[in-house]
Amino acid sequence: MARDLRGFGLPGIAAFVVVMITLLLGSNPFVPLAALLVLIWAWRSRTPWCEIGFARPRSWIASLVSGIALGIAFKFLMKAIVMPLLGADSVNRAYHYLAGNRAALPSAIWMMIVVAGFGEEVVFRGYLFERLGKVLGSALWTQLFIVLLTAVVFGLAHYSNQGLAGVEQGTIVGLVFGAIFVRTRQLWMLMAAHAAFDLTALAMIFLDVESDVAHLIFK
């Protein structure tokens, strides 16, 4: 069973399809469910945890601190420089309802940490890189292709609720995080970075300073 699940016969392909369908259902609660299915697949297929990014870091503190710092800095870079250059709206209309909305904060924080930080990283980086790597190999060009492919898919996953700007930002984030994962093969720092990135975005929206940050450099 373990060999069949990890291979690309009917059980392995079926497992992949189930994970991806669960992920693409489009509702936030299904993203961590897809990640949970990945963990179950890894356990049942006896896939080493390090192969989907759960390798023990040299320093937990350094990994988490560097991830948080990266996430915060990356979000400011995207909001103040990259997205204005791409012509994006200075306000994220899809989530602007969170501005000053204390009642919605708990669910929003949950979404940023569990759905984005945990769920999306396990599936888009850990799982997809492992599966595509098994099919395509580990040559440099295949790694570059996997980074590009997963970044595009990650970007497109944001179209339904954030439009073109969401696709652009998601693709860039996918490229950066994918490149880091190719280099480190560890998810812990990326989980912290992803959660920090989204929580920083949430703070900007909640404090209603999105426009101020977006016009910090380009008036």
What integer is the mean pLDDT of 175-192?
Answer: 97
Binned at pLDDT 50, 70 and 90, residue 138 comes out as: confident
Task: Please report the pLDDT score of residue 29 as a whole number.
Answer: 79
- What stretches of 78-104 show up as alpha helix (H) in DSSP? 83-85
pTM surpassing 0.85? yes
Q: Residue 7 falls within a domain, yes or no? A: no
User: Under a CB-based contact definition with an 8 Å cutoff, are residues 23 and 123 in contact?
Assistant: yes
Q: Residue 32 falls within a domain, yes or no? A: no
Q: Residue 105 falls within a domain, yes or no? A: yes
> To the nearest whole number, what is the mean pLDDT of the chain?
94
pLDDT surpassing 90 at residue 201: yes
Each residue of 187-196: pLDDT tens digit?
Answer: 999 999 999 9
Task: Please report the pLDDT score of residue 39 as a whole number.
Answer: 97
Q: Residue 94 falls within a domain, yes or no? A: yes
- Residues with Cβ within 8 Å of residue 199, at least 6 apart in sequence: 71, 109, 112, 113
Calculate the CA dihedral of residues 214, 173, 158, 68 and round it to 10 degrees: -80
Task: Please report the pLDDT score of residue 28 as a whole number.
Answer: 75
Binned at pLDDT 50, 70 and 90, residue 135 comes out as: very high
DSSP string, 103-152: GGHHHHHHIIIIIIIIIIIIIIIIIHHHHHHHHH-S-HHHHHHHHHHHHH
Q: Residue 206 falls within a domain, yes or no? A: yes
Q: Residue 166 falls within a domain, yes or no? A: yes
Structural domains of the chain, count: 1
What integer is the mean pLDDT of 161-178?
Answer: 96
Q: Residue 117 falls within a domain, yes or no? A: yes
- Amino acid at site 72: I
Binned at pLDDT 50, 70 and 90, residue 219 comes out as: confident
- The DSSP 8-state label assigned to residue 90 in this structure reads S
Residue with tokens 């440099």: 140
186 phi and psi angles, rounded to 5 deg = -130, 135
pLDDT surpassing 70 at residue 153: yes
What integer is the mean pLDDT of 128-137?
Answer: 94
Task: Please report the pLDDT score of residue 23 as a whole number.
Answer: 85
Binned at pLDDT 50, 70 and 90, residue 218 comes out as: confident
pLDDT surpassing 70 at residue 7: yes
- Residues with Cβ within 8 Å of residue 168, at least 6 apart in sequence: 83, 86, 88, 155
Q: Residue 87 falls within a domain, yes or no? A: yes
- Residues with Cβ within 8 Å of residue 32, at least 6 apart in sequence: 114, 115, 118, 119
User: Under a CB-based contact definition with an 8 Å cutoff, are residues 30 and 23 in contact?
Assistant: yes
Each residue of 19-76: pLDDT tens digit?
Answer: 999 888 766 778 999 999 999 999 999 999 999 999 999 999 999 999 999 999 999 9
Q: Which domain holds residue 165?
A: 57-214
- Residues with Cβ within 8 Å of residue 174, at least 6 apart in sequence: 124, 147, 150, 151, 152, 153, 154, 155
CA-CA distance, 87 to 163, in Å (whole number)? 13
